[in-house]
A and B are shown apart, each in its own frame.
Chain A
Amino acid sequence: MQCEEVREQFADYVIARVEAPAPLEIVEHLSSCAACRAELDELKSLWMQLENAPATEPTAELQARFDVMLAAYEEGLRRPVHNWRRPVLEFAAAAALLVIGIGVGYRMHTPPARNPELAELQSELHQTRQMVALSLMQEQSATDRLKGVGWSYRLQEPGADVLQALLDTLMHDSNVNVRLATVDALRQFGNQPVVRRGIVDAMTRQEAPMVQIALIDLAVDLKEKESVGSLQQLTQDHNIDPAVRDRAEKGLEQLR
């Protein structure tokens, strides 16, 4: 056998993936070819050394992010929307909202005490809006997710699941326009501690400069003092976009 033919078999013997002994012709070649023997020993040694590289461990944050993602997904599934049904459901939701809206509007003209159904109707309206927002935010198409984010504007008091879905979208949505729209949508809920925390957390984790700047603007507008640490981190990070760094510096001055 030629050296090259023998060496082609080394992948099996270097890595010890083959339990059977090496074919006789390889053994014979190795016993008579010092160069191939040296090559095999060298590669084997390198392979063994690779094992010494220690495994890297994730931070606890990874688990926390997964838990949030799974919870949001489960919540979305509880209100399943199948693609073929979606247009029908959207139409039905729109029609239901119209009817409920008219009902609520009509009832608003009379004192609540005399209209016990009012609270129920308002609750129904709220739940329907939440359902549409949550369902759309689960969609594959960025346009649909944008619609979902847009629906959140119709919610006066969003549930924890909607806020979490918005924050999850801000953190993980692959589309920068959806993330930007989410920053705008979160502005209306800026009085909620969970939203303020989410904005601060996202600031240093976003990669798109536009989203980072929008988050800084929002934190400054909300006078969120907790963002000072993140802003300082951004001013010291020389790998980020200079525009983001400048905005962070200005933001720090505004918050002082």
Chain B
Amino acid sequence: MHETDENLMLAVRNGEVGKLAFLFDRHHRLLFDFFAKLTGSRAAAEDLVQDVFFRILKYRGTFRDESRFKAWMFHIARNARIDYYRKHHTGTLPAEDRDTEPQSRFGMPGDDLEQEQQVFLLECALLKLAPEKREVLILSRYQDMKYEQIAEMLGCEVSTIKVRVFRAIKELRDIFFKLSNEKPPCNVKKSVNSLRIM
């Protein structure tokens, strides 16, 4: 029988910590993609996912009966991300520390080079946004979270999130157009690691 995330987490909270393995299985890819897009680094993303699940164990007692797991997990993810940036004394990873190569360069269905280049530029533009703006865009676009969920997670009003998303996408567009007129489009470090896992 399929157990809900919330029931699994309640079981974890109540001492059946082994059940966290099911939650990890369900959510670690999603979380990894979130962090990879947010930091531009696979190594950092893996560390952060590990950190989030460790924090889930550590703070499992704070999961309330009425909490929604995904929102709670992303709340923890956000704190982990803030601590990570604080530890690295930066609001975003410098280009030379990034190890993700925008994947679109390595072929897309139909091998549409123009589209490939567009997506590549868009990924570069996303990495140039301020972390707070990148975060709401990623949550909204890739994690498919509703404004209400994001607002709950970030502890602010829905209207604030709407404004933030709108500003973020406008700024993304400006950076995107700026990058379109630049060569090379962005400085992203190529690494053996990123190529290995393509």
Contact = CB atoms under 8 A, between A and B. Distances in A.
B140 to A, nearest CB: 6
Nearest to B161: A11
B137 A58 contact: no
Given A11-B165, A46-B122, A239-B96, A62 B173 contact: no
A17 interface: yes
Interface residues of B, number: 50
A56 B100 contact: yes
Given A70-B20, A74-B17, A57 B29 contact: yes
Interface string B94-117: 001100101110001000000100
A52 B97 contact: no
B74 interface: no
A172 interface: yes
B193 to A, nearest CB: 8
Interface in B62-112: 96-97, 100, 102-104, 108
A118 to B, nearest CB: 37
A55 B33 contact: yes
A56 B103 contact: yes
A59 B46 contact: yes
A239 B166 CA distance: 37
B17 A70 contact: yes
A165 to B, nearest CB: 13
Contacts, number: 121
Given A15-B140, A17-B147, A53-B122, A47 B169 contact: yes
Interface residues of A, number: 37
Do most interface residues of chain A lie in helix, strand or loop, or is the interface mixed? helix
A49 interface: yes
Contacts of B178: none
B123 A73 contact: no
A46 B197 contact: no
Contacts of A47: 141, 169
Nearest to A65: B50
Given A56-B103, A74-B18, A12 B169 contact: no
B42 interface: yes
B103 A54 contact: yes
Interface string A62-96: 11011101100110010000000000000000000
Nearest to B46: A62
A15 to B, nearest CB: 6
Nearest to B168: A11
Nearest to A67: B21
A56 B37 contact: yes
A180 to B, nearest CB: 17
A58 B45 contact: yes
29 contacts: A7-B166, A11-B163, A11-B166, A17-B147, A43-B170, A46-B173, A49-B118, A50-B142, A52-B104, A52-B119, A52-B122, A53-B37, A53-B104, A53-B122, A54-B103, A54-B104, A55-B33, A55-B142, A56-B33, A57-B32, A57-B197, A58-B42, A59-B46, A59-B197, A62-B32, A62-B49, A67-B21, A70-B21, A74-B17
Interface of A: 7-8, 10-12, 14-15, 17, 42-43, 46-47, 49-59, 61-63, 65-67, 69-70, 73-74, 77, 140, 172, 239
Interface of B: 15, 17-18, 20-21, 24, 28-29, 32-33, 36-37, 42, 45-46, 49-50, 53-54, 57-58, 96-97, 100, 102-104, 108, 115, 118-119, 122-123, 126, 137, 140-142, 146-147, 162-163, 165-166, 169-170, 172-173, 176, 197
The 4 closest A-B pairs by CB, nearest first: A11-B166, A56-B36, A11-B162, A58-B32
